Structure formats: C-alpha cells, structure tokens
Structure 1
Amino acid sequence: MLKVYTDAAVNGNPGLAGIGIVVSGNGLYEQLSIPLSGSWDNHRAEWEAMRVALKWIEANQKLNSLILLYTDSQIVADSISKKHVKNINFKSFLNECLALLNHFSFYEIHWIPEKQNRGADNLAKQALQKALNNQKK
C-alpha cells in the first residue's frame, strides 16, 4: 500500500507556485518539492500537484499497489471521486488525472484537513521559495 500526500503553495493568486508530494509505504519514502514555472492560481496548483504525483507513481511502476491519495483540496478530492468537475478550467486536469488513474489496480482519494497534510505542505512551501528565489536571479 502506498500513501500519497499532495499540496501546493502559491504566492499571490495567481502567482508563483510550488508543489509538495510525499509518497510512503512498501519500504519506500519519497519527498518531492517542485517549483512551478509561470503563474498559477491555488486550485490549478493543487491539480498540478495531484497530476505530478500520479505521473510519479506511473513512472516508478507502482501501478499494482493499493494507492491511497490524500489532498487538502476539496475540489480535487471531490472532482476525482465524482469523476466530474463544475469549473471548466479544471476539466483538462481532471481528464488527465482520470486517464492516469485508469492504469492503477486500485486507488482511493481522500480529503484531509491542512493539519494532517503538513509534510506535503512544507515541501510545497520549500518549492515556492525556490520559485521565488529563481525569479530574483
């Protein structure tokens, strides 16, 4: 079983952003802190965090594991659970996430409060700081 936590941090809305991902289980512990280029709003950045996490799972051949996905974004969790998004701006993110999830043997997605997502949150904030530092160069 793999537990995957995702989060995003944005400076301004829209603004620079970073994403954080924690993957643990089956003797594995991976932390990803990725600055994003361009301008992001908070919802799109949360979607990007989930998309990147799913692509990481696929690239690392973990598709046959039970995958438990955790996000503090209600929009991302609800949209993936219902396989529907109200805001058309998120449709491409949802479609890509669902296409990736179709390759998984079994997954669940859960909304969690921010306080239960501190690991991914800290990584997202570190990535945002990298994005801000890169902009100053």
Structure 2
Amino acid sequence: MLLSLMVMSGINSKKSPPAPLEVYTDGASRGNPGLAAYGFIFVRNNDIIFEESKTIGKTTNNTAEYYAIISALKMAQEFATESIIVYSDSELVIKQINNQYRITKPHLAQIRAELAIVEKNFTDIQFRNVPRENIFIRCCDELCNQVLDSETQA
C-alpha cells in the first residue's frame, strides 16, 4: 500500500531533464576587417527566450563569429548549466572548435582558448554547423545587421 502511494504521489518518479538550451549565433563584419557585431538567441522548446546583439569594433568576420559564441555562452550560464547545443552557420569556426580544422591564425587560437574556459561551465555542450537559411540563424543575422545599421547611422 505504501509503495503504491509513493508511486502515485510521484515520490519515486524520476523527473525528466529539461530540454537542452539551443544557442544560435552569428557574427558579421562590414569589410574584412571592418565594423563588426555579433548576435545570438536562446531557444527552448522552439521558443525564443532571449536575444542579444552588440558591436565589437573593427575586426574580421571569423573573429566576430567566435565572439558571438563566447558572448552567448557567458550569458547562457544564467539559463542553463547542463545541456547546451550551439549552432552557427560558420563552418570554419565550428570545425575549428570541434578540432576538425587546425587554427592557423594566432588571434583565433587565443579566442579559442578563451572559449575553452567558458565551455567548462556546462556539463554537456555540443557545437553544430547549420545552413545560413536556418530560421534562427537568420534571426541572429538580422540582429547583427540592425546593430551595425544603428552604429553607422549614429
């Protein structure tokens, strides 16, 4: 009787883990190097729950892509510490992060080292490349363009 009460009351039931936090990122520069920005959004259960974009001065597009990921992961610590999936349309950056491509530029190697430190704040983290046509990547691209437009009009 006691066992059936425990099961019915949920005492012995396991709680399913929360859905992973999906992090979509984009970096952009107008010129290479040029005025650059990053944008990212957090998605949980197909709903956008947070977004951010900022300019980062004059730099390359690849640097902006890395800073998008680093900035997103620093903020993501407030939303999740367990399962995170990071999506980017930058094949180069994702393959460098996943050790499929070597990093030959010293400044990118330094940024990658900074990213490795931030990664340690999560139990499970994956980095995936998606096409730029992905609806959430398009949102990140739009965030970058909006912040770059506002900077150039100021």
Q: TM-score range by the shorter chain?
A: 0.7 to 0.9
Matched, 1:104 2:116: no
- Greater length-normalized contact order (CA 8 Å, ≥ 6 residues apart): 1
Q: Give the C-alpha shift of residue 70 in structure 1.
A: 0.2
Matched, 1:63 2:81: yes
Q: Give the C-alpha shift of residue 89 in structure 1.
A: 2.2
1:10 and 1:89 map into 2 onto residues whose CA distance is: 16
The one-letter amino acid of 2:64's match is A
Q: Hey, what does 1:127 align to over in structure 2? A: 147
Q: Hey, what does 2:36 align to over in structure 1? A: 17
Q: Deviations over 1:21-70 (max 9, x none)?
A: 0101167611112122x211111111111110111112x15212x10100
1:121 and 1:62 map into 2 onto residues whose CA distance is: 24
Q: Hey, what does 2:73 align to over in structure 1? A: 54
- Give yes or no for contact 2:41–2:48 (8 Å, CA) kept in 1: no
Q: Hey, what does 1:118 align to over in structure 2? A: 138
Q: Hey, what does 2:96 align to over in structure 1? A: 79
2:150 and 2:132 map into 1 onto residues whose CA distance is: 22
**Structure whose residues are more often helix by fraction:** 1
Structure 2 regions of 5+ residues with no counterpart?
1-19
Q: Hey, what does 1:45 align to over in structure 2? A: 64
- Give yes or no for contact 2:25–2:69 (8 Å, CA) kept in 1: yes
Which of 50, 53, 57 does residue 30 from structure 1 map onto? Answer: 50
1:131 and 1:71 map into 2 onto residues whose CA distance is: 24
Q: Hey, what does 1:93 align to over in structure 2? A: 111
The normalised TM-score by structure 2 is: 0.78
- Give yes or no for contact 1:18–1:128 (8 Å, CA) kept in 2: yes
1:127 and 1:19 map into 2 onto residues whose CA distance is: 9
Secondary structure in 1 matching 2:28: strand
1:23 and 1:112 map into 2 onto residues whose CA distance is: 15
Q: Give the C-alpha shift of residue 86 in structure 1.
A: 2.8
Structure 1 regions of 5+ residues with no counterpart?
none
